[in-house]
């Protein structure tokens, strides 16, 4: 979905995409916070890329323990805040951050 002109927020219905492996919100004009409980249910995620998404907010990193297959997370140049959780070490497949 990168570089589209979408101007909405992320729906909590994203939780229904339980087989989702790659989440790419690069350079979108999405607004609001990540729907926390919905993000928690995406346990098959392998790659997340949310670059230059300045209007998204929330502490996305706190859900990393729910993504055991995560190999890449790129949130460079985004408006996301928070700290790295102590559980980040549980992501043993993580290669790029």
Q: 5 versus 52: which is more confidently predicted?
A: 52
Q: How confident is the model at residue 2 (pLDDT cuts 50, 70, 90)?
A: very low
DSSP per-residue string spanning 63-90 = GGGG-TT--EEE-TTS-------GGGGG
- Distance from C-alpha of 58 to C-alpha of 96, rounded to nearest angstrom: 21
The pLDDT > 90 percentage for the chain reads 33
CATH code of the domain occupying 12-90: 3.80.10.10
Residue 81: its pLDDT value, please?
74
Is the pLDDT score of 8 beyond 80?
no
Instruction: Report pLDDT digits (tens) over 62-90.
Output: 888 899 999 999 988 887 777 888 888 88
Q: Please check whether residue 72 is in contact with residue 49, taking contact to mean a CB–CB distance below 8 angstroms.
A: yes
Q: Please check whether residue 46 is in contact with residue 73, taking contact to mean a CB–CB distance below 8 angstroms.
A: no
Structural domain spans, the chain: 12-90
Is the pLDDT score of 17 beyond 90?
yes
Distances (CA, A) of 36 to 8, 66, 92: 17, 11, 22
């Amino acid at each position: 979905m990168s570089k589209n002109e979408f101007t909405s927020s992320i729906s909590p219905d994203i939780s229904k995409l339980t087989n989702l492996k790659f989440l790419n919100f690069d350079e979108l004009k999405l607004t609001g916070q990540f729907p926390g409980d919905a993000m928690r249910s995406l346990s098959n995620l392998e790659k997340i890329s949310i670059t230059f998404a300045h209007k998204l907010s929330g502490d996305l990193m706190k859900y990393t323990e729910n993504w055991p297959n995560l190999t890449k997370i790129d949130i460079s140049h985004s408006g996301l805040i928070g700290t790295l959780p102590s559980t980040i070490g549980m992501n043993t497949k993580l290669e790029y951050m």
